[in-house]
Amino acid sequence: MFSFLYQSAKQALENIRYNGDFSFSPEYKYKQFTRVSLEGPKGLCLSESCNWRPSFPGPSRLLPRCKGMRVPRSLEVWKMGTVNYLDALKLQDKLISRRKTHKISDTVLSLQHPPTYTLGKRRTDHNLLVPESDLKTIGAELHYTQRGGDITFHGPHQAILYPIISLRDIGLGARNYVEKLELTMIELASLYGVKARAGGVGETGVWVGERKIGAIGVRISSGITSHGLAFNIDPDLNYFKHIVPCGIADKEVTSLRRETDLVLPTEEVIHEQLISCFARLFCFSDLIWKEDAPILPDNGEAE
């Protein structure tokens, strides 16, 4: 009885909106469903006998393996290109509702936004350094959200993932979930010889030294996740000068382009690498790629 009450209390405490922030890149034109096992360039093999290694620049090595996984788990990957932030928010809400009622399986949205600033639940007005009315002059929007964290920027040349997954089904709490999101970006950076780390006390996201390269901001409702992570490939860092990113003052923002000496592949490749790292760390054995994915209408069915 004591063990049951302890686990129930622990789950209740971890079913929270975690703090942080997040945001992706080039326009995509995708047209069809593609199902692939994690045995090649679009994923990472989960078999203990698999010798496949990422054929990407940087260290050639296997990412962490999933131990004891007996039942194959699939992940639907929606590659959506450039999506207005509010449209992406509405889509997440619809997918969350469908995931709660088991109408869809675990899903991750892969997309980018036009220049957009978003404020999370821990927002403070002084972290926006310019009047809101001035943002239009630099071609950016501002939106308030229910995710954790303070203020961040979303824009072109960032790799963004919004996972809509059931933490209860995979036995993860909020803290472990965020740690795996951090590891996802750390693993991606390592492919290019960049040594990244998780944030320390008072820090959120992923860092290279004292420079922030990746942001995390999530919401968890009834065990279903939304919002997610953003990894800076080569965004215009001038946009960050108008805010105190994540409410952390006196810290720089950096990008993969600035931190590596390697020639970067196309951003599409980097996005797929990020998805592969995510799938590996969360033990998804089968990826279903939904290309040119539509926005859901109000009835929740794909157009």
Whole-number pLDDT of residue 244: 73
Among residues 45, 66, 246, 283, the one annotated as catalytic is 246
Task: Read off the pTM.
Answer: 0.76
For the chain, the structural domain boundaries read: 17-49+56-61+68-291
Whole-number pLDDT of residue 23: 33
Instruction: Specify the CATH superfamily of domain 17-49+56-61+68-291.
Output: Bira Bifunctional Protein; Domain 2 (3.30.930.10)
DSSP β-bridge partners for residue 224:
166, 221
pLDDT of 131 strictly over 50: yes
pLDDT of 218 strictly over 70: yes
Rounded to an integer, the average pLDDT of 251-263 is: 94
Q: Say whether 246 is catalytic.
A: yes
Kindly provide the residue ranges of all beta strands, DSSP E only, lying in the chain, ordered along the sequence. 33-37, 74-82, 107-112, 116-119, 141-144, 151-154, 158-164, 197-198, 206-208, 211-221, 224-232, 252-253, 286-291
pLDDT of 69 strictly over 70: no
- Dihedral class, residue 157 (left if φ above 0, else alpha if ψ from -120 to 50, else beta): left
Q: How confident is the model at residue 39 (pLDDT cuts 50, 70, 90)?
A: very low
